[in-house]
Amino acid sequence: MRYYDKLIFELSKPGRIGFSLPHAGCPWTAAPAGACRPRQGSGGTTSVVGSEEIGEFCDSGKFSDSCDSLRGWRSRDGVLWRESKLELPEVSEPDVVRHYTNLSQMNFGVDTGFYPLGSCTMKYNPKINEEVVAQFNGLHPLQPARTVEGVKAIYDFMDKALAEITGMKHFTFLPCAGAHGELTGLMLMREYHFRRGDLARTKVIVPDSAHGTNPASAAVCGLDIVVVKSRPDGLVDVEDLKPLLGPDVAGIMMTNPNTLGLFERDIKEIAELVHACGGLLYYDGANMNPLLGVVRPGDMGFDIMHLNLHKTFSTPHGGGGPGSGPVGVAEALVPLLDVPRTSGFHGNFGIILRACAYILMLGRENIKMAGPLATLSANYIKESLKDCYKLPIQAVCKHEFVFDGLAEPNGVTTLDVAKRLLDYGFHAPTIYFPLLFHQALMVEPTETESLETLDAFIDVMRKIAQEALQDPELLHSAPHNTPIGRPDETTAARQPILKYQN
Amino acid sequence: MSKIIEGLLYSESHEWVKVEGGIAVIGVSDFAQSEMGDITYVDLPSEGDSFEAGEEFGALESVKASSELYCPVSGEVVEVNTELEASPEKVNEDAYGAWIIKVRLSDPAELESLMDAAAYAAIAK
Amino acid sequence: MQPSPSRMGAFSYFPHTGEDIRHMLDRIGVRSLEDLYSDVPSEFIHRGEYDLPSALSEVELRAWFKDMASRNTELKVFVGAGAYDHYTPSVIPYITSRSEFLTAYTPYQCEISQGTLRYIFEWQTMICSLTGLDVANASMYDGPSAAAEAMRMCVACTRKRNTVVASSGLLPNVLETLRTYARYSGINLVETWEVHEAVAEGTLDLAGVIVPSINRFGMIESHLGLADLVHEAGALLVEYCDPSALAVVKTPAEWGADIAVGDGQSLGVPLCYGGPYVGFMACRSEWMRKLPGRIVGQTVDAEGRRVFVLTLQAREQHIRREKATSNICSNESLIALWCTVYLSLMGPEGLRRVNELCYEGAHYLHRELMATGLFEDPFEGREFLKEFALRPLCDAAKLQQALLDEGFFAALQTEEGYVTFCVTERRTREEIDALVKVVKEAAL
């Protein structure tokens, strides 16, 4: 990867164009229908270089004899029309292609290398998934049902497949991301209580190890957050939970396995306790991958859950989105499923198509291997590195696990380790999360990485542990082989520059 | 070792209070600023806002953290140190010079529940 | 879960051979894959077969989707209502399918994410340019959810106030999304056509007002004087806009709005049955730290080079948890890239031309439809751009069906009994003439 220091605005030169559009018609002030003539004055509508001298060819416009043209908007009642100049780049098509190709070459993706990013499930994104989408691009979201029977069949298939995989009854596909799913799911939880006339349930219980989105989603949904503590072994403390339960509890949000990669083995007791107090159980599907093909959240007693199709079901992350976070519910909540309208149309259909392709390729045969192989990879790395990285919890993990920094740090932090990994061609793990450990370094390998890749990662992690002892400065100043060095984030936040200014 | 100044009062959430007449001048302790690291933003209330003792009145932000500020005493905000909007680093440079708000005490008795320097030294570590 | 050598390697996404699995199990010190789940109560292990289809090969998968696609009808789209059939230049899918963009995660590690960070910075700049406002975020899920976030932002910016007035002229799916978010977060949402009056009436609790730039009947709205009224009431003005149209219609900044939101779909993003699209959000700089979502900023690296990072993160859920400005943590980055490349190709001239073509086509269709004598114009004299509503003097359902039979998706009914039409630059004069012909014949 090399450094390329341009923004598209810096390639701009007045008169260049990158578009290819039909010709627009004639000026507003022109003669009546059928008598259109070239216009005098400013503003090129058809010229290749967009300059005024070339003149107008309004007779080649599609509607040239209608003469209802927008061109004259400046001369019309000015109130409704834009007066300020529109600053956009003026660049040719080859400029655009080369610029964005150069930008892409400063990026790292799953196709570039290993991404051991905890809680993000960066598995391989199959290429066939991308291929199937294009043939649905032309469908308008409000088309009548009888013109989109294929779409309906795909949604029905996905509903049934996800219900089978998770043990839930039905799904809504409106949410566009995991956090959006959490919010939609919590709305369903509240609606369930509202409909029973039970308005006192305004609290939701969230473990201290939960993803940050859990309390944030609960707050957006108008719920008060009550934190339940983890025990030293990393699992939810059932004894701490008991006194929190009561008639004001709407439910609990759980991630299982939790963010330490540990299976909450007391889940049955927790489910019974929460149900007994009248609350519901929400399953945060961010960590569903190790259970794929092995355990169904519905069987564990969860009432509501979301899935991250961009994690467990292989759709690409796209640099931060679009994703998809369908929400599944148990039988009792099915009638409410369409109540919360949290996005504009039918959810991210293009992403749902990709996940559908993945499920069909997995099939009932391969699905049973997905979770176990992800779990195998995580435990393999954990066992191979626990002598040089601090492993606070020794138990068998699921798809991910957490180190608490180097065994012998010698002043080297988790951030230093993460940045040094970039030099060796690996993405960094998730760092400083979960908050339970000060030097948290959270690794999730997924089932699509080969033994050779895992071994290469393990070798590099060991090498970095050695470097920490021999040359800590090398790590403090890492990375050294990336397009840029460590940025000054303090200045970025103190004096924010958030747009290009010429 | 962070600095603790004699003669100020301190809260458990690491705010300091200096009483000048009926006015409480409020800032955060040197310990608090050192725990935060480089402060990038101070979220300030407006003049005229009123807070109860223990109520949140603003926040400090650093690159990777955020910490709420709690009003150690009840009262109305009579002055805000707007200089911190542009220069949040002043809190790092001199935590006891960079006051954040001044509050007109509505219940001076509340001051008794705050710590003196010696008591605060025991928790600020 | 026993590794069976005959099956291992049989699935192309799993690299593990039987031997690899054996080796890894030995390193861990367990005997089988099943032992890795020894902490899971055995009653929760799903032992049976999943009721799913048998794995397909790529050849079969292609056929499966081809069959599904064949059960849909691709229509000539003369409907908008929040999803517009604009032209997609060929460059865009070519660029956005580059795997360095497609398969990257959120750009946490900025040293190896400058590609993503730079295009988001470009997107933020372009959104500021379109809306005229100072600051934009890295994007939201879609327009309606962005409007809901703007509603929440009004409440956050005005601290203890809790009432938001929304114009009944907003798109139905925007209003529904606002209602949903308001219901659960306890915001008092007031919907009305009489926005000026509702604000003038005065309530101490007013946090914000949300109005469309172009309403759901396609009419370009005048917000003359509204911003002053809203600001006098101590509240914020939010404008919901079509970013493509902002090349020609008055900008949120020109109207005096504090926040602009909308859907980037009209910037060349395919219809794709409703998503993925991309929401955008911009505001005046005084509200910068209340913006939800990711924001990219410019800074320098250790060698003094200009670089880009995710910034102002202390607003976000992974730091603030329940006190965050929002729970949102993704942005629709790849679709933001889609729009950024679109705007780069279009430039000021191309985007203006798109609007001219839409305007001309829509006005031509409007004139031709009115000439049939089968419609009344309930909004006569009002300005519109690419979408308009008419009152049909014939049976609207029958009309829409006749159009569908001929391959047109047009005459979408509103709750008032109007029918709406939309013309983008993709529609040809021949298509419009053919549509009018169908309308005339349907009425016979």
C65-78, pLDDT tens digit by residue?
999 999 999 999 99
Q: SS3 helix, strand, coil % of chain C, rounded to 5? A: 45, 15, 40
C33-52, pLDDT tens digit by residue? 999 999 999 999 999 999 99
Mean pLDDT computed over A438-444: 95
Chain B residues interacting with chain A (CB cutoff of 8 angstroms) = 38, 40-41, 61-64, 88-89
Q: Give pLDDT, residue C322.
A: 73
Side chain identity at C77, as an amino acid letter? V
For A433, B39, C286, the CA distances from B64, given in Å and listed in that order, are: 12, 10, 22
Q: Give pLDDT, residue C328.
A: 87
**Window 401-430 of A, Cβ < 8 Å to C:** 418-419, 422, 427-428
Which chains have 3 or more CB–CB distances shorter than 8 Å to chain A? Answer: B, C
Nearest residue to C342 via CA among C92, C115, C86: C92
Question: Which CATH number fits the domain that encloses residue A380?
Answer: 3.90.1150.10
Token pair in block for residue B31:
């310990």
Whether the CB of A88 is below 8 Å from some CB of chain B: the reply is no
**The domain C76-85+347-443 belongs to what CATH superfamily?**
Aspartate Aminotransferase, domain 1 (3.90.1150.10)
Q: How many CB atoms lie within 10 A of CB A84?
A: 11
Residue A431 lies in a domain: yes
Same domain for A437 and A451, yes or no, is yes
Side chain identity at C187, as an amino acid letter? I
Same domain for A372 and A334, yes or no, is no
Token pair in block for residue C422:
């939309």
Q: Please provide residue A491's backbone torsions phi and psi, each rounded to the nearest 5 degrees.
A: -65, -40
Q: Give pLDDT, residue C313.
A: 85
Question: A435: nearest CA in chain B?
Answer: B65
Question: A118: nearest CA in chain C?
Answer: C105
Q: Give pLDDT, residue A34.
A: 35
Token pair in block for residue C277:
């699209």
Per-residue confidence band for C316, with pLDDT thresholds at 50, 70 and 90: confident
Looking at the predicted structure, is the pLDDT value of residue A78 above 80?
Answer: no
CA distance A188 to chain C (A): 10
Across A15-29, A56-70, A227-241, C354-368, least confident range: A56-70
Whether the CB of A474 is below 8 Å from some CB of chain C: the reply is no
Nearest residue to C152 via CA among C324, C395, C344: C324
A129-184, pLDDT tens digit by residue? 999 999 999 999 999 999 999 999 999 999 999 999 999 999 999 999 999 999 99
Q: Are B89 and A494 in contact (CB < 8 Å)?
A: yes
Question: A432: nearest CA in chain B?
Answer: B64
Residue A117 lies in a domain: no
What's the length of chain C?
444
Per-residue confidence band for A49, with pLDDT thresholds at 50, 70 and 90: very low
How many folded domains does chain A comprise?
2
Q: Which residues contact B56 (CB under 8 A, 6 or more apart)?
A: B68, B69, B70, B71
Per-residue confidence band for A46, with pLDDT thresholds at 50, 70 and 90: very low
Q: Which residues contact A226 (CB under 8 A, 6 or more apart)?
A: A203, A204, A205, A206, A244, A249
* Fold exhibited by the domain B9-119: OB fold (Dihydrolipoamide Acetyltransferase, E2P) (2.40.50)
The domain of A429 spans 368-476
Residues of chain A positioned with their CB less than 8 A from the CB of B40: 490, 493-494
Same domain for A356 and A378, yes or no, is no
pTM, full prediction: 0.94
Residue with tokens 């900008």: C251
Alpha-carbon distance of C318 to B64, in angstroms, equals 9
Side chain identity at C381, as an amino acid letter? G
A260-298, pLDDT tens digit by residue? 999 999 999 999 999 999 999 999 999 999 999 999 999
Q: Are B63 and A432 in contact (CB < 8 Å)?
A: no
User: Which of A362, A382, A404 is where one domain is finished?
Assistant: A362
Same domain for A196 and A335, yes or no, is yes
Which chains have 3 or more CB–CB distances shorter than 8 Å to chain B? Answer: A, C
Q: Give pLDDT, residue C3.
A: 47
Under 8 Å between Cβ of C227 and C218: no
**Antiparallel, parallel or unpaired: β C188-192 and C163-167:** parallel
Q: How many CB atoms lie within 10 A of CB A53?
A: 7
Question: Which CATH number fits the domain that encloses residue A242?
Answer: 3.40.640.10
Question: A431: nearest CA in chain B?
Answer: B64
Residues of chain B positioned with their CB less than 8 A from the CB of A432: 64
Looking at the predicted structure, is the pLDDT value of residue A45 above 60?
Answer: no
For C96, C132, C166, C269, C294, the CA distances from A319, given in Å and listed in that order, are: 11, 26, 33, 17, 12
Looking at the predicted structure, is the pLDDT value of residue A58 above 50?
Answer: no
- Partnered with residue C421 across adjacent β-strands are C388
Same domain for A376 and A327, yes or no, is no
Q: Are B40 and A494 in contact (CB < 8 Å)?
A: yes
Mean pLDDT computed over C106-116: 96
Per-residue confidence band for A42, with pLDDT thresholds at 50, 70 and 90: very low
Looking at the predicted structure, is the pLDDT value of residue A60 above 50?
Answer: no
Looking at the predicted structure, is the pLDDT value of residue C9 above 70?
Answer: no
A83-140, pLDDT tens digit by residue? 999 999 999 999 999 999 999 999 999 999 999 999 999 999 999 999 999 999 999 9
* Fold exhibited by the domain C91-340: Aspartate Aminotransferase; domain 2 (3.40.640)
Enumerate residue ranges in chain B where pLDDT < 50.
none
Q: Give pLDDT, residue A79.
A: 83
Nearest residue to A360 via CA among A132, A45, A200, A142: A132
Of the candidates A99, A111, A342, the beta carbon closest to that of C145 is on: A342
Nearest residue to A99 via CA among C280, C89, C98: C98
Q: Give pLDDT, residue A65.
A: 55
Residue A145 lies in a domain: yes
Q: Please provide residue C230's backbone torsions phi and psi, each rounded to the nearest 5 degrees.
A: -65, -45
Whether the CB of B61 is below 8 Å from some CB of chain C: the reply is yes
Per-residue confidence band for A63, with pLDDT thresholds at 50, 70 and 90: low
Burial zone of A239 (CB within 10 Å; 0-12 exposed, 13-18 middle, 19+ buried)? exposed
Same domain for A320 and A388, yes or no, is no
Q: Please provide residue B26's backbone torsions phi and psi, each rounded to the nearest 5 degrees.
A: -125, 135
Whether the CB of B107 is below 8 Å from some CB of chain C: the reply is no
Read off the DSSP letter of residue C316: S
Token pair in block for residue B76:
């109305």
A357 or A212, higher pLDDT: A357
Q: A172 by DSSP, 3-state: which? A: strand
Q: B92 by DSSP, 3-state: which? A: helix
Q: What ranges do the domains of chain C cover?
A: 76-85+347-443, 91-340
Same domain for A334 and A400, yes or no, is no
